[in-house]
Structure 1
Amino acid sequence: MHGSNKSVLLQANEAVIAGDNEGFLSHCTDDIRWTTVGEGTLEGKEAVRQWMKSAYAKPPRFTVDRLVAEDDTVVALGTIIGEGDDGQPTELAYSDVWRFRDRKMVELQAFVIPNGQR
């Protein structure tokens, strides 16, 4: 899997877990388009950087249950445990659809919903 889009995504995820936002961003193109369905779209690496400063101030814990890749797309399915508005841990289910260009992440469509577990 060395050099594959899957391995790039796994490396980027490891950076997020480690709280290394710049390490994550090194795997993104400057013109990344990050859409969280139902919430909005971030345009460009700087917008993602600023969002990560607050949203990932405390790095999320997450698991990837499945990765599916075809052509320039990798789909990741899993769970995220983060801090809810009330300060309590909250579990979310997610499906991230990543598009790659030249082994860098160029576009994300993220589908994130409460998992109903605490």
Structure 2
Amino acid sequence: MSELNKTTLERANAAVRAGDNEGFLSFCTDDIVWSTVGGETLRGKQAVRDWMTKEYVAPPSFTVERLVAEGDFVVALGTIASSADDGTRLDNAYSDVWRFCDGKMAELRAFVIPTGT
């Protein structure tokens, strides 16, 4: 199951890179919980959809450096660059801890740290 969950996350990430938010959401449960440590918690696909529409006006550029899977969990380590409202580039390091349920992404706990580069 761990390898299947990794593959699912890779496919979901490919959708984000392509700007296909609905494609990404197809890999999520309807009641997904998306939490950013020190930030907000989104509950349900519509909340995630609304957030992505606002935050991913242009698809983010990110690199997954490592995926580690065990049971229902996949941890992704990497870097992500996105744009602020004024167009300024935002560079961050991240660690996403995903919990899967029945082959879909059910929960995200995201640790995002500005790198200042």
* Structures share fold, TM-score greater than 0.5: yes
What is the 5 A alignment of 1:1-118? 4-117=4-117
AA matched with 1:83: S
Distance in 1 separating the partners of 2:35 and 2:25: 16
- What is the CA distance between 1:28 and its match in structure 2? 0.1
CA displacement, residues 31-57 of structure 1 (integer Å, 9 cap, x when unaligned):
000001111100001110111111111
The runs of 5 or more residues in structure 2 that have no matched partner are none
How far is 1:15 from its partner?
0.2
- Structure 1 runs (4+) deviating above 4 angstroms are none
When normalised by structure 1's length, the TM-score is 0.94
Q: Percent identity?
A: 66
Contact 2:56 2:82 in 1 (8 A): no
Q: Secondary structure at the match of 2:14?
A: helix
State the number of aligned residues.
116
SS of the equivalent of 2:22 reads helix
The one-letter code sitting in structure 1 at the alignment partner of 2:66 is R
Tell me, what secondary structure is at the counterpart of 1:4? Answer: helix
Q: CA deviation at 1:86?
A: 4.3
